[in-house]
């Protein structure tokens, strides 16, 4: 079976563990190369290529506070701030 391997990140030079579970996942997907970057560097690389998300300002239908949302609000549906949305989801 697979055993954990310690690899060196080609970006930051830090060591990271390529776990047996990750190796199994790679094999199931047919990936032949081991990862060359640690998770932090992979995440940073993905974030750098992703376009920043446009945020819109709306008024919360529950408390009246300003809410920043990642979609264009419409008049036919209420918009909630993070706190009020969490309260509605939990109830």
pLDDT, tens digit (0-9, with 9 covering 90-100), for 30-57: 999 999 999 999 999 998 888 888 999 9
Q: What is the pLDDT of residues 17-36, one digit of tens each?
A: 999 999 999 999 999 999 99
| Range list of H helices, the chain | 20-29, 39-49, 82-90
The whole domain housing 86 covers 56-90
Determine how β-strand 56-59 pairs with β-strand 15-18: unpaired
- How many domains, in total, are found in the chain? 2
Same domain assignment for residues 20 and 35: yes
pLDDT value at position 15?
Answer: 97
pLDDT value at position 25?
Answer: 96
Same domain assignment for residues 15 and 34: yes
pLDDT value at position 51?
Answer: 81
Nearest-Å Rg of the Cα atoms of the chain is 21
Same domain assignment for residues 38 and 72: no
Same domain assignment for residues 44 and 62: no
pLDDT exceeds cutoff 90 at 91: no
Unique residue bearing structure tokens 């009246």: 64
pLDDT exceeds cutoff 90 at 75: no
Question: Read out DSSP for 62-86?
Answer: TT--EEEESS---TTS----HHHHH
How far is Cα 67 from Cα 79, in angstroms, rounded to an integer?
Answer: 8
Same domain assignment for residues 29 and 12: yes
């Amino acid at each position: 079976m697979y055993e954990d391997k310690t690899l060196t990140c080609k970006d930051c030079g830090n060591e990271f563990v390529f776990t047996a579970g990750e190796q199994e996942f790679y094999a199931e997907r047919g990936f032949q190369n081991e990862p060359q970057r640690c998770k932090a560097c992979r995440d940073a690389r993905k974030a750098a290529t992703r376009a920043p998300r446009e945020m819109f300002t709306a008024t919360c239908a529950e408390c009246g506070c300003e809410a920043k949302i990642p979609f264009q609000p419409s008049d036919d549906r209420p918009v909630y701030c993070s706190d009020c949305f969490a309260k509605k989801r939990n109830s």
